[in-house]
Structure 1
Amino acid sequence: MNRMSALVIDDELFAREELMELLEETHQIDVIDQAGNAIDGLKKINHLKPDVVFLDIQMPQVTGIELLGMLDPDTMPKVVFVTAYDQYAVQAFEDNAFDYLLKPVDPARLKKTIQRLFKYEKVSHEQYDNIAPSTLNQIPCVGHNRIVIIPTQDVECAYSDISGVHIRTVEQVATSQLTLKVLEQKTGLVRCHRQYLINIKMIKEIKLLDHGLAEITTQGDFTVPVSRRYLKTLKEQLGF
């Protein structure tokens, strides 16, 4: 019998454990991990790449709906929402062909959900686009033994290196689980280099270099490279 790997994300420990137990009893779902908040959940989704995520909607700091908007569409798992009864939320899911479970989870309803998961092999990204936020107003990051929620408007730039994706503000640098692709698509950050995104409003100076290259100095005096490929587009957006 085919089996699926699953991650359960819910800030309520009892609800999380109860659902994990029900899933294990089906003998079709292998729960490979759990998370008590969306930020930890995002990290585990990216690292473990589960087939399906059972995602609570009502969570503090970052909701399940907001987390959905932070996932990379190229590697997105199937998602089943878990929610306390809310007629508006339920109607939204039904209108968009979403699958959802109401708390407390009914084993018979869970069985139907699992049958559906195995029936439809591929995720429809358009389905998720209908309900996921089109823009991100905040970026969850991990700092020195702490979780940091950075307002998108405060970001100077985002960049990637061998250790991950980093979000820089005038005051700090923190690591994010979001990809540069998602940040480019869902924030006002603009691509200026294969490894860099820039907030145009945070540019202090652009220095034009030889060979069609350039260098940006941000308000916080951080240097950001601009490659030939993106210089023309950047100039146009700045009105040059």
Structure 2
Amino acid sequence: MAVAQDWELDGAFAVRALIVDDEPLARHGVVLRLRKFKDVEIVGECADGRSAVQRILERSPDVVFLDIQMPGMDGFEVLRALPAERLPAIIFLTAYQQHVLRAFDVHALHYLLKPVDDMRFAAAVCRARDLIHSALKADMAQRVIKMLDRTTDQFASRFTVQAGSRIQIVIVDEVDWIGAAGDYVELHSNGRSYLLRETMSGLEQRLDPAKFIRIHRSRIVRSKGILELQSIENREFTLRLSDGSEHRSSRTYADRLERWLSSEGI
């Protein structure tokens, strides 16, 4: 369940901070430390990546204390979901392995190791304060983007879709099937549907072929969700998925479905 907490805003503060961590004690520790800085205002707390993206877009914080390891949507995915021009200053909170810390060092990004040391915390806040009030903020955003490019996966792990005035995050591994809808594709996940402005061919390139199969020019299905196949004729099938939906494959994409059947030992 998404957890987010808003704080009352006061225009007298110079630095607006958002805290993102799935551990309540970790968030509380950051809150207590930030209260020592009279020019820092806490504009919210988030316990997951999806609510963090929404809060950053809504509140435009100057600095975000961002945990890397979170279930569902990690800290890197939060940053990838944001437009480059909306990236705030970032102080990463991490207990990550050494090779990830080296990536931060290479790109001169601020991070705090858990458990957080008070002196390092104070130094990180001071650096962030200097950063947001200078021309270096855009340079920092570019360093974050370069670091994300180095750590990015080959295939998409989430989609960002616009739903009215809200931004929705759809986790790729939770998508049951995808259908063509004019100039859009329709993502079906956990009983809900989301419109994404993308072509089926373009979307297919972003999906891991080990997890998704295109069975028709207007259908892509998650392979783990296939429960039953019923042969029709001419190498065509009716597929029943775990969400209860049924889809017809076409001869054009028969080779892909047959390769999957073979890989499953069927």
TM-score class, shorter-chain normalisation, is 0.5 to 0.7
SS in 2 for 1:168: strand
Greater relative contact order structure (CA < 8 Å, 6+ sep)? 1
Q: Unpaired segments of 5 or more residues in structure 1?
A: 161-165, 181-195, 204-216, 221-240
Deviation per residue, 1:14-63 (Å, 9 max, x gap): 00111111112122321110000111111111111111111001111111
Q: 1:103 to 1:167 in 2, by over 3 A?
A: farther
Aligned equivalent of 1:61: 72
Aligned equivalent of 1:137: 157
SS in 2 for 1:18: helix
Q: 1:61 to 1:108 in 2, by over 3 A?
A: same
Higher-Rg structure is 2
Q: 1:113 to 1:170 in 2, by over 3 A?
A: closer
After superposition, residues 1-240 of structure 1 pair within 5 angstroms as 3-84=14-95, 86-120=97-131, 121=134, 122-124=137-139, 125-132=141-148, 133=152, 136-139=156-159, 149-151=171-173, 155-156=178-179, 168-169=186-187, 173-174=192-193, 196-200=197-201, 218-219=218-219
Report how many residues are paired.
Answer: 182
Deviation per residue, 1:51-97 (Å, 9 max, x gap): 11110011111111121211110211111100125322211111110
Q: Unpaired segments of 5 or more residues in structure 2?
A: 1-11, 205-216, 221-266
Q: Which letter does structure 1 place at the counterpart of 2:55? A: K
Q: Take 2:185 and 2:30, find their aligned partners in 1: how far apart are those partners?
A: 35
SS in 2 for 1:197: coil
- The CA RMSD over aligned residues, in Å, is 3.7
Deviation per residue, 1:161-197 (Å, 9 max, x gap): xxxxx97226765459xxx8xxxxxxxxxxxxxxx33
Q: Take 1:159 and 1:44, find their aligned partners in 2: how far apart are those partners?
A: 31
Q: 1:42 to 1:201 in 2, by over 3 A?
A: closer
Q: Which letter does structure 1 place at the counterpart of 2:99? A: Y
Deviation per residue, 1:93-121 (Å, 9 max, x gap): 11110100111222211121122112223
Q: CA deviation at 1:219?
A: 4.0
